[in-house]
Amino acid sequence: MKKRYAMAVDTVRCVGCSACVISCKTENALPDGGFRDWIVQEVRGAFPDLSMEIRSERCNHCSEPSCVDACPTGASHVAEGGVVAVARNKCTGCKACIAACPYGARYVHPAGFVDKCTFCLHRVQKGKQPACVETCPTRSLTFGDLEDPDSPVARLLRSRRSRVLQPEAGNKPNVFFLS
């Protein structure tokens, strides 16, 4: 059966330590200043009545990826399991995808192509978890195949309240935030 890779980010567990950010940078040998994932702290209220949500964010690997639609060369494409990927050899660095992405998930690599999260597909193909998932000390990140009803991510999304970022953008993200 066709796979649909997805991630659940547990905002209750996440402390925003950035271990996901650093492990992504070393796993994927990212350049200085390049990030495929990042931490967002969203604070609401006024002292002392406050609440805060902490999210580890990355490309949402949308089912309706506006970045892929925007790409004039076909470099941005949908790869195995619905992973939104960039073929470096086809990318001209025009940044149309960056403008089209509602989530700011992409950056221009100094080598001239656009770079972004791949869900560590090179690891996933070898049966491993994405680097951020493996290192996360709070086990906030759950990755897997949503088409498999027994996968931890599918079970988690059935049992917990979750939401996606900016659903109004219509991109149908596959990264879900548990709260």
Partner 1 sequence: MSLTRRQFIQIGGAAVGGGVLASGPTSKWWGLDANRVEDPGTDGDHVVATFCELCFWGCGVLAHVKDGRVTKIVGNPEHPLSRGMLCPRGAGATGLLYDPDRLKKPLVRRQKRGEDVFEEVSWDAALNRVGDGLLDVKRKYGPEAVALFTHGSGGSWFKHFMKAWGSPNVGAPSYAQCRGPREAGYLLTYGTPLGSPEPIDIANARVITLIGSHLGENMHNTQVQELAEAVGKGAQLVVVDPRFSVAAGKARYWLPIKPGTDIALLLAWMNVMLAEKRYDAEYLASHAMGLDELKAHVADKTPEWAYPITGIRPELIRESARFIASARPASLVHPGRHTTWYGDDTQRARAMAILAALLGSWGRRGGYVSPGKMALAPFSVAKPFPHGPKGVADKPKSGGYPIAGEVIASGLCDASVPGHALYDLKAWIIYGCNLIQALPSRKQTITALQNLDFVVSIDVLPAEICGYSDVVLPEATYLERDDDVAAPAYKQPFLALRQEAVPPMYDSKPGWWIAKEMAAHVGLSAYFPWKDAREYVDARLRAGGHDVAQVRAKGVVLGKPVPTCEEEGLPVQVATDSKKIELKSEQLAKLGFDALPQYYPQEEGPPGHFRLLTGRAPTHTFGRTVNNRLLAEPYPENEVWVNAGVARALPGFDHPLRSGDRVWLVNQDGARSGPVKAKVTERIRGDCVYLVHGWGQTAKKLRYAHGRGASDAELVTRYKIDPIMGGTGMNVNFVRIEVAERFA
Binder among 6, 8, 54, 105 for partner 1 (CB under 8 A): 54
Q: Is 118 in the site for partner 1 (CB under 8 A)?
A: yes
| Cβ-Cβ contacts under 8 Å for 68 (sequence gap 6 or more) | 76, 77, 78, 84, 97
N-to-C CA span, the chain: 30
Give min distance, CB of 104 to partner 1, in A.
15
Beta carbon of residue 119, minimum distance to partner 1 (angstroms, whole number): 10
Distance CA 23, CA 136 (A): 9
Strand spans (E) along the chain: 5-10, 37-46, 49-58, 76-78, 84-86, 107-108, 114-115, 141-145, 162-163, 175-178
Q: Are strands 175-178 and 5-10 parallel, antiparallel or unpaired?
A: parallel
Amino acid identity, position 126: K
Structure tokens at 31: 């350049």
Min dist CB 107 to partner 1, Å, is 12
Of 7, 21, 101, 105, the one binding partner 1 by CB under 8 A: 21
Q: Are 150 and 107 in contact (CB under 8 A)?
A: no
Number of residues engaging partner 1 in binding (CB under 8 A)? 63
For partner 1, the closer CB: 64 or 167: 64
Region of 16-24, 101-109, 145-153, 165-173 interacting with partner 1 (CB under 8 A): 16-24
Using CB under 8 A as the binding rule, whether residue 99 contacts partner 1 is answered as no
Residues that bind partner 1 (CB under 8 A): 2, 10, 12-19, 21-23, 25-29, 32-33, 35, 38-39, 43, 45-48, 50-54, 64-65, 68-71, 73-74, 77-80, 82-83, 85, 87-88, 90, 118, 121-122, 125, 131, 134-140
